[in-house]
Amino acid sequence: MAGLVAGSIASNEGLSTILLRKGQSATAYSSGAIDVMGYLPDASEPFSSPKEGLAAVAGLLPLHPYSIVGYSEEVQEDNVVNEIVSRTRDAITWLKTNLKGTIAQLRGSFKSNIHAITILGTTKPTCLIQETMYSETLQEREDGVLLLAGITGYPDFNPSIAAKTYLEDRLASSGPPRKVGRCLLQITPFGKSYNLSSIEIARHLDHENSIEELANQLKMHVDQLGATHVALPPVLGLKNALENKKELEKLLGVEVFELLGFPPSVPGLRLQLALEGLFRRSGGKMLVGHEAISSFTTDNRLSSVTAKAPRREMQIDAKAFILATGKYIGCGLSGDENGIHESLFDLMTVTGTYHSAGDILPSRFTNRVAISPEGQPLYSCGLTVDPHFRPVKEDGVEWASNLFAAGSVLAGYDYSTEKSGLGVAATSGYSAAKNAINFIKEVF
Ligand SMILES: Cc1cc2nc3c(=O)[nH]c(=O)nc-3n(C[C@H](O)[C@H](O)[C@H](O)COP(=O)(O)OP(=O)(O)OC[C@H]3O[C@@H](n4cnc5c(N)ncnc54)[C@H](O)[C@@H]3O)c2cc1C
């Protein structure tokens, strides 16, 4: 997310832009919903809107990437919150506008968080969800009846457990729908009927006629329950998900939507592919399977990086560079018995409380419980940057005048507890690119 947003912004400005991508990304593993700010760490009540969340961050977490987004020498102290909100809104609006018409078209707005339903039957506050995950009326229609449809042989989604959890949630908030049912469907991608993955099912549903077959099976369950809405796991297709949703709605006469899921994530992959399309259309050049392995610096300026692919090595010279290598999945950061390290330039790393992370044992920075409200301290580690998003050294001075950083390689926030991952990546990518463009205009 961070690299592709930054690259698209730079390329749209007419700069010649190259994006190196070594391999897999957290973006493709994500649920594909764009979280901006859901919770403060340790809070149990979610924010009602991204704006409310950003105002809290501005007041309490001055080194959070969102707070850095709002920094500018011209901004008066009493206007910082407005600046953070307005710059983040610009980035998120840019994303929504530019993904329109793609396989990851988004719904939602900055005015309020959506409470999207997950495959566990829980809900999570998020800013934008993919159109295929959106239900216009589920939480408004007093006579709403929700059917959760699972797939035999697909172990990631248990509709019975999800129905129970979701119904408890709705009863506690005394909102509709007040009736939730479940069913199991038979889908056999290429004849396979067990241990199915979401990607296999999505590919199957991208083929002609498969949606009609699915609608035929669903029709009986919809009629039996009197369902007004049908929720499926996120498998509606990699290429044709939105068309498939619309076709199902037409054939069944009820609203159909996807739940938020876990990796491997079809909507995450749709988002990654849509962002790559956006970058290419903006004129950017993408080298997939190319790893930046070393760099050359002169006079406080990074002049080139060397990229390595299985069959070649090349030197890439540029006026400015953006480091958006992600955290542990992307491999921007790695940890061993000596500490947590930035993988490419060996930049200084810090913890979420801004102590050195270069010598902490990763095992000391993890909780035994994988998913907990306290999160994992390891997630808050990363780079510390100056107000222009340039990584700094121990003395607080930038490592190089033309190296900017964005996305989850940054320290100071835990996306898993805050529900802020793709929002921080998009906003910091957008801001880092704008800063890099200004730097080029001023210096060259
Ligand atoms: C399971 C899971 C679910 C999540 N769900 C959500 C969600 O629902 N909503 C949300 O908002 N956030 C979610 N997040 C968080 C979100 O996905 C991340 O915060 C966000 O994707 C980070 O984006 P990024 O661009 O910084 O890094 P990444 O998406 O990880 O991208 C980094 C890229 O850099 C490349 N790279 C690394 N090193 C090099 C190198 N040396 N040379 C070339 N390329 C390199 C990698 O190959 C990768 O492609 C989730 C995360 C996970 C793990």
Q: In the block, which residue shows the tokens 């560079």?
A: 321
User: Is pLDDT at 36 greater than 80 in this prediction?
Assistant: yes
pLDDT digits (tens, 9 = 90+) for 154-183: 999 999 999 999 999 999 888 899 899 999
CATH of 2-103+270-443, one of 3.50.50.60, 3.40.50.1820, 1.10.4010.10, 3.30.830.10: 3.50.50.60
User: Is pLDDT at 392 greater than 90 in this prediction?
Assistant: yes
pLDDT given for residue 74 in this prediction: 74
Q: What is the mean pLDDT of the chain?
A: 95
pLDDT more than 70, % of the chain = 100
Task: Give domain limits for the chain.
Answer: 2-103+270-443, 119-260
Instruction: State if residue 181 touches ligand 1 by the CB under 6 angstroms criterion.
Output: no
Question: For 223-231, what is the mean pLDDT?
Answer: 98
pLDDT digits (tens, 9 = 90+) for 312-366: 999 999 999 999 999 999 999 999 999 999 999 999 999 999 999 999 999 888 9
At position 437, the amino acid (one-letter code) is I
Question: For 430-439, what is the mean pLDDT?
Answer: 98
pLDDT given for residue 386 in this prediction: 96
Lookup: tokens for 19: 């994006």
pLDDT given for residue 213 in this prediction: 96
pLDDT given for residue 76 in this prediction: 77
Q: Name the least confident of 19-33, 35-49, 223-237.
A: 35-49
Distance 328 CA to ligand 1 centre (A): 9
State which H helix or E strand residue 323 sits in: strand 321-323
pLDDT given for residue 287 in this prediction: 97
In terms of pLDDT, which residue wins out, 264 or 37? 37
Distance CA 343, CA 247 (A): 46
At residue 71 the predicted structure's pLDDT band, cuts being 50, 70 and 90, is confident
Distance 422 CA to ligand 1 centre (A): 8
Instruction: State if residue 1 touches ligand 1 by the CB under 6 angstroms criterion.
Output: yes
Instruction: State if residue 33 touches ligand 1 by the CB under 6 angstroms criterion.
Output: yes
User: Is pLDDT at 272 greater than 90 in this prediction?
Assistant: yes
Instruction: State if residue 35 touches ligand 1 by the CB under 6 angstroms criterion.
Output: yes
Beta bridge partners of 295: 305
Distance CA 313, CA 358 (A): 29
User: Is pLDDT at 368 greater than 90 in this prediction?
Assistant: no
Parallel, antiparallel, or unpaired for β 285-288 and 255-258? Answer: unpaired
User: Is pLDDT at 371 greater than 90 in this prediction?
Assistant: no
Lookup: tokens for 71: 């920094």
pLDDT digits (tens, 9 = 90+) for 112-151: 999 999 999 999 999 999 999 999 999 889 999 999 999 9
pLDDT given for residue 181 in this prediction: 97
Same fold, 2-103+270-443 and 119-260: no
Mutation pick for ligand 1 pocket among 4, 21, 420 (CB with most ligand atoms within 8 Å): 21
pLDDT given for residue 208 in this prediction: 84
- Specify the ligand 1 atom closest to the Cα of 406: 26
Distance 110 CA to ligand 1 centre (A): 22
Distance CA 134, CA 256 (A): 8
Angle at 442 between CA 342 and CA 438, to 5 degrees: 55
Instruction: State if residue 292 touches ligand 1 by the CB under 6 angstroms criterion.
Output: yes
Distance 256 CA to ligand 1 centre (A): 29
CATH of 119-260, one of 3.30.70, 1.10.3470, 3.40.50, 1.20.144: 3.40.50
pLDDT given for residue 306 in this prediction: 98
Question: For 241-265, what is the mean pLDDT?
Answer: 97
Q: What is the CB neighbour count within 10 angstroms for residue 10?
A: 26
Q: Taken in order 367, 369, 373, 376, is the CA torsion positive or negative?
A: positive
Distance CA 397, CA 403 (A): 12
Lookup: tokens for 249: 């709605």
Mutation pick for ligand 1 pocket among 272, 418, 422 (CB with most ligand atoms within 8 Å): 422
Beta-carbon contacts of residue 442 (< 8 Å; ≥ 6 apart): none
